[in-house]
Amino acid sequence: MPLSLPAIMGNKLRFGIIGCGKIAPRHASEISRIGILAGVCDIIPERANQLAQQFNSQAFYNITDFLKHQPYDVIAICTPNGLHAEHSILALQANSHVLCEKPLSTTAKDATDMMEAAVNTGKKLFVVKSTRYNPALISLKEILNNGQLGQIFSFQLNCFWNRPNSYYASTWKGNALMDGGILFTQFSHYIDALLWLLNDTVKQVSGFRNNFTHQGFIDFEDTGIASIQMNKGTIGGINWSVNSFQKNMEVSLVILAENGSIKIGGEYMNNVEYQLTADTCPVLTTQTGQPNDYGFYKGSMSNHDKVYDNLLLAIDNDKHPFSNAIDGLKTVEAIQQIYNAMPLA
């Protein structure tokens, strides 16, 4: 059933975008569908000009001019991970709601500062969690919320993608300060999905991580494996790497529970690969979609249309379920716990 968008659609919201890199056109396309893209900003003029020309907007080359010359109802933050906090806070202080790309930040301290800025300005701070709109995950979340699987014993989350050295060359990606690590840049959507599905947080972590093939290109691991105990008692593992041969392999989640065993897999955690459950459990939904395609590599499922539809509803209604700063903070805290417990070999 299509979403019933609020009355504010009759008076279209004005949006801005800070950061005109790979994901920005996806935001611009959805903004143009539901609102007005009033301005875009990037310190690389060619990027700002290209995006502005493509979507009939105005280009700015520094944030001061961007915020001073245009009023924005909502600003999308699409800059490097390490700048999300600074840019979100500036946008909030300019009296705009903020939709921040994942991850919300690379430290819990930055995430908390962002949340305080939202409270102080009376504006709303949201974070992109597009994987939550994968149909298989939506149907699994419903089963879990209804308690139909009974006690959750264990889980296994596998994230195996390919990112060659050329992906990291001459860019902020791979830099410890700006990137934060592959659990932030490549796999934070799936850490979020795990926490969201289980409605739980990480209690204890042990494991290993290493950089096998990206020396000189990244400041952190390209492969890791973690054993995790959740606060509600569930135990599990997370196994991740960007060393899958030549292309993305899979992002999969296995849940073993009292009333069934389920595996959701595929390249982007979007297909039901195994379900053996009690008769009281409905069959999970499978619907294959398309990933965000960046040329020689692909990202997560492209659900930004659903993100923006729900953003409008969340701006209009405080009770509408939509991923906010609290959700973003939980993911950041979990990744920090994992990294802090696992020194780089």
Report CA Rg, the chain.
Answer: 20
Please give the distance of CA 226 from its chain centroid, rounded to a whole number: 20
Q: In sequence order, what are the residues at sequence separation of 6 or more whose Cβ sits closer than 8 angstroms to the Cβ of residue 319?
A: none
- Confidence grade of residue 11 (pLDDT, cut at 50, 70, 90): confident
**Looking at domain 7-127, which CATH architecture does it have?**
3-Layer(aba) Sandwich (3.40)
Q: For 171-210, write each residue's pLDDT tens digit.
A: 999 999 999 999 999 999 999 999 999 999 999 999 999 9
Q: For 37-68, write each residue's pLDDT tens digit.
A: 999 999 999 999 999 999 999 999 999 999 99
| Domain boundaries along the sequence of the chain | 7-127, 131-301
Provide the phi-psi class of 67: left if phi over 0, else alpha when psi is between -120 and 50, else beta: alpha
Look up the pTM and report it: 0.93
pLDDT, residue 345, reads 84
Helix (H, G, I), strand (E, B) or coil at 266: coil
Helix, strand, coil abundance in the chain, percent, nearest 5: 35, 25, 40
- Give me the residue label for tokens 């009355």: 7
Domain 131-301 has CATH 3.40.50.620: no
Tell me the HSE value of 165 on the side-chain side, using a 13 A CA sphere: 7
pLDDT, residue 114, reads 98
**Residue 2 burial (CB count, 10 A):** 5
User: Backbone phi, then psi, for 60, in 5-degree steps?
Assistant: -130, 155
Rounded CA separation 339/240 (Å): 13
333-341 mean pLDDT: 98
Q: For 231-246, write each residue's pLDDT tens digit.
A: 999 999 999 999 999 9
- Confidence grade of residue 263 (pLDDT, cut at 50, 70, 90): very high
According to DSSP, residue 140 is labeled: H
Helix (H, G, I), strand (E, B) or coil at 180: coil
